[in-house]
Amino acid sequence: MRRLLWEKTSYFLVPNGLAYKAFAGSISVNGFHYSNSRLGRGAKAERNTGIVQARRKETWYSHSMQRGKLILFFSLAILVAALWSILEVPEKYFPEQIQESVIFPHNSEIDAVKDPEDLSKKGIRLLDGNVPAQDEVLLQEDLGRAFIASMDGSIWILDLKKNQAEPFVRTPLLPGGMVAHPKDPDRIYFCVSRGKKEDPVDPNGPGIYELRVSTKSVRKIATFVPKVPDRLGNTISSYGKFYPNSKQVTLRFSEMNGENSRRVEKADDLAISRDGERIYFTEPYDHPGAILGVSTQSRNEALTLGKNGNIWKIDLKAGTVSLVAHKYSYVDGILLEYANNSDQETSILVNELSRFRLLRLYLSGDKAGEDEIVIDGLPGFPDGMDRDPSGRIWIALVIERSKLVTWLHAHPFWKHLVLYIPERIQPVSRRTALLILSPDGKTPLYYGVHNGSLFSSLIVVIPGKERIYLAVYEKDHKGLHIMPYPI
């Protein structure tokens, strides 16, 4: 009985540990007195053992938590470092110039004239396999030759009888658009621009140059343009700032200095008047260090819809440069229009590449100073532009407009993220196309698409007498392609 009472008391007192102080001293059982000192020592020992074990567990959990936090921290650090090594930091002005939401239309009239067959089924063939990627082809078929602006920094000459090409002359920077003087085929005017931001611009920077074919000599025409005044007169144009002949800011070459003029940043395409006295050229954007061609920089400019495009006029006879238009979006291909048989141009056709449309700017006449959309909702980015002997307009659509691009323009917040994603890991389409329009530019006549199996980045389509020439601006591309007229 005593044993049972002691065991019950021990069971009550000892395992509980917390009750030790309450029963320290002695215990009476059936009239007998028992000292609790022995019981206290046992309980205290067990309690101390429990505390040590609890502390050990607490320390173990604490160390485990610290190790977990360290592992998480270093994992995140490694992830951030890996992402940072992949991401590209855009130039500061691109995030700042992102425009508001724009819903770009879809042109069903172009769909109606789309060729169901790929352009590769239309007889495309390689004319010369040695020519590096091209920005322009200038035909002089009556003389049996053509000139090719190449990505290797040279103008090549093509023998149209032998279908063989060879380097002809080196240019100061990368050559771009080219035109021949309408009254003297020995004089060719061409654009040059940087191929890389760090390309030297002294003494011969981006701008317009002249090539004398007979002597292979290159002469600088204009590499500086007037600075745009902070305040200019009001314009009646709707899509940018356009100045007709009577309101253009003009500066003589001889009067240019560091205060009233600046360097041309990027000369892309050009057109020359019928009398050979005036050259108009496009500067798609005027950011410092602008480079020629299809690049991350040009992609960012197109994505953000920056309004940094300019059109300039060089008067060769007067020795002046005039501002024709600015604050347009990525102006590129350019053509001049005339009234009847006049030598005086009355309007300009220009592609706004990033906005998928063709504009007309009226230089003179009843609509002088106005601009208008000729055709909108193009299915790709319109680049180079030319006319065939019938007056029809041929436009190269360098890259197909994807649904993703259209969605991003409608949701511009996400452009801030896309700007950091390198082009090499973006889902960029290889599909490229050509579009034929009526002489007034309003009616689609033919739309042909190439899936990219032969080449991508068709930059300009040049119609000849019996065939068309396809200039391809793709890195590491070799060869000049031709094809029969599709219509």
Per residue in 345-387, pLDDT (tens digit) is 999 999 999 999 999 999 999 999 999 999 999 999 999 999 9
What's the whole-number mean pLDDT along residues 449-478?
96
CA dist., res. 106 & res. 262, Å (int): 39
Helix (H) or strand (E) holding 398: strand 393-400
Residue 155's SS3 state is strand
Helix (H) or strand (E) holding 83: helix 37-86
Chain-centroid distance of CA 156 in Å reads: 27
Residue 25's SS3 state is coil
CA dist., res. 316 & res. 337, Å (int): 19
| % of the chain beyond a pLDDT of 70 | 83
Token pair 């020359």 in the structure block, residue:
272
* Least confident among 45-49, 257-261, 474-478: 45-49
- Given this model, what pLDDT does residue 84 score? 53
- Given this model, what pLDDT does residue 452 score? 96
Decide: 408 and 276 in contact? Cβ < 8 Å. no
The residues near 391 (Cβ < 8 Å, ≥ 6 apart) are: 439
DSSP string of 92-112, one letter each residue: THHHHTPPPP------HHHHH
Decide: 419 and 433 in contact? Cβ < 8 Å. no
Per residue in 267-298, pLDDT (tens digit) is 999 999 999 999 999 999 999 999 998 888 99
Over the range 376-401, which residues count as b (16 or more CB within 10 Å of their CB) and which as e? ebbbbbbbbbbebeeebbbbbbbbbb
| Single-letter code of the amino acid located at 99 | Q
Per residue in 159-178, pLDDT (tens digit) is 999 999 999 999 999 999 99
- Given this model, what pLDDT does residue 4 score? 37
Over the range 411-438, which residues count as b (16 or more CB within 10 Å of their CB) and which as e? ebeebeebbeeeeeeeebeebbbbbbbe
What's the whole-number mean pLDDT along residues 1-10?
39
CA dist., res. 275 & res. 342, Å (int): 10
- In this predicted structure, the answer to whether residue 418 has a pLDDT above a threshold of 80 is yes
- In this predicted structure, the answer to whether residue 51 has a pLDDT above a threshold of 80 is no
What mean pLDDT, rounded, does the chain reach?
88
| % of the chain beyond a pLDDT of 90 | 76
What's the whole-number mean pLDDT along residues 112-135?
96
User: For residue 437, what are the CA distances in angstroms to 345, 385, 386, 396?
Assistant: 20, 11, 11, 11
- Given this model, what pLDDT does residue 283 score? 98
- In this predicted structure, the answer to whether residue 389 has a pLDDT above a threshold of 50 is yes
Structure tokens of 9?
A: 């008391």
What's the whole-number mean pLDDT along residues 16-37?
44
- In this predicted structure, the answer to whether residue 2 has a pLDDT above a threshold of 90 is no
